[in-house]
Amino acid sequence: MTDWTPYTARARDWFEHLRNAICAEFEAIEREAGSDAAFEYTPWKREALEGESEDTGGGTRGLMKGKVFEKVGVNVSTVAGGLAKDFAATINGASAEQNAFSATGISLVAHMANPHVPAVHMNTRFLTTTKAWFGGGADLNPPLPYPDDTAEFHAAFRSACDSFAPDAYQRYKAWADEYFYIPHRGVHRGVGGIFYDHLECPDEETWEANFAFTKAVGEAFLAVFPRIVRRRMGQVWTAEDKAQQLEWRGRYAEFNLVYDRGTLFGLKTGGNIDAILMSLPPHATWS
């Protein structure tokens, strides 16, 4: 059985590098808007569950509230331990009898002040149980959709996918359309993106290929989303625009609390509550 520890460390290093690059770019946008907002970083340690060692990892929660980014969180965590036996059966490669896991990843959600600027989510991760795999994706969530923003966002991720496999974009776009859907509302959460999971690594060569793809996803996000923000952040908005944004945010919150896998995984594995729920918007309405 492969010892994935050094590979987990490499993935963690990349996620931290990506976090630093994204936060620097978002802070640069705030400067362009005349704001001195900056990320505040709060380290946290995972509390060991019964029967675990004391060293079960942790992470850092990065949070910024500014003029352009009303609330943006960028979290990186690296944790390990044992899955609750009733939850283990729901995780790829785990069971009640073999419930050890490790996970490292980056998770980002941005809620924007201007309703013309889309909110966004991005997450990539590497997990091990009796198997090892990558997962992740990104999706655009505009209260006021613009076709050119949607097309540019999808084009960036199509390029990342095309470097990995000829049919990857169509498969992962369809997966995102299926996943980022609110059944009780009968609507999609936004205008989509890509979603992939259980990208398994049976050997080192496959790990390298899957890791390269995961890095390409992060780089695509870093390239495309700031461009969209800069295009829209100076647009004038009305009270009606803001009302539509707040109502849409309520639906975003519903998805994350009811259906999101990452929220459930974090809560079930002893994650930091504030980091897990940073995805919730600062203000929302329900009619």
| Residues with catalytic roles | 121
> Which tokens go with 132?
């090892």
> Which tokens go with 267?
């809560």
As a whole number of Å, the end-to-end CA separation of the chain is 54
Cα separation, 229 vs 250, whole angstroms: 22
Cα separation, 197 vs 137, whole angstroms: 9
- CA distances for 106 relative to 20, 29, 89, 140, 285, angstroms: 11, 21, 24, 17, 28
| For the chain, the helix, strand and coil percentages under 3-state DSSP, each to the nearest 5 | 45, 25, 30
> Which tokens go with 209?
């290929």
Which of 50, 187, 171, 190 is closest to 109 using CA atoms? Answer: 190
Q: Is the dihedral of CA 260, 264, 269, 272 positive or negative?
A: positive
